[in-house]
Amino acid sequence: DTGVSQDPRHKITKRGQNVTFRCDPISEHNRLYWYRQTLGQGPEFLTYFQNEAQLEKSRLLSDRFSAERPKGSFSTLEIQRTEQGDSAMYLCASSLYRGPSYEQYFGPGTRLTVT
């Protein structure tokens, strides 16, 4: 296993279109996270799953955003009716509980540009 993978790496879309991103975590990891990172900032938490259950969603995740992890393996993040403010790097991370800390391993990200 080579780590967390994300697809696509880059996406350019017009305002109002829907987009979907995919994340494949490290195979034995039971937790999967989505973050968003804008230029010059650190990543911000969006949501996370334990197996197939979505356990927490940030207030940043508006109604236009939906995430799924149907079989507890890969996850998808969909943005409906994209807006220019959605332009950002969308990062996926996965983790496996190890004692008191969850070490999270990140994928390469999907860079979204909304024109």
Partner 1 sequence: TQLLEQSPQFLSIQEGENLTVYCNSSSVFSSLQWYRQEPGEGPVLLVTVVTGGEVKKLKRLTFQFGDARKDSSLHITAAQPGDTGLYLCAGAGTASKLTFGTGTRLQVTL
Select 19 or 36, whichever has its Cβ closest to partner 1: 36
Q: Give the nearer residue to partner 1 in terms of CB position, either 76 or 80.
A: 76
How far apart CA 6 and CA 52 sit, in angstroms, is: 18
Strand, helix or coil at 83? coil
Closest CA to 45 of 77, 2, 8: 77
* Least distance (Å) between residue 91 CB and partner 1: 5
According to the binding rule CB under 8 A, does residue 103 interact with partner 1? yes
Indicate the DSSP class of residue 11.
E
Which of these ranges, 11-19, 60-68, 73-81, 94-102, lies near partner 1 under the rule CB under 8 A? 94-102
User: Interface residues for partner 1 in 27-46 (CB under 8 A)?
Assistant: 31, 33, 35, 40-45
Q: Do 107 and 29 touch, CB atoms closer than 8 A?
A: no
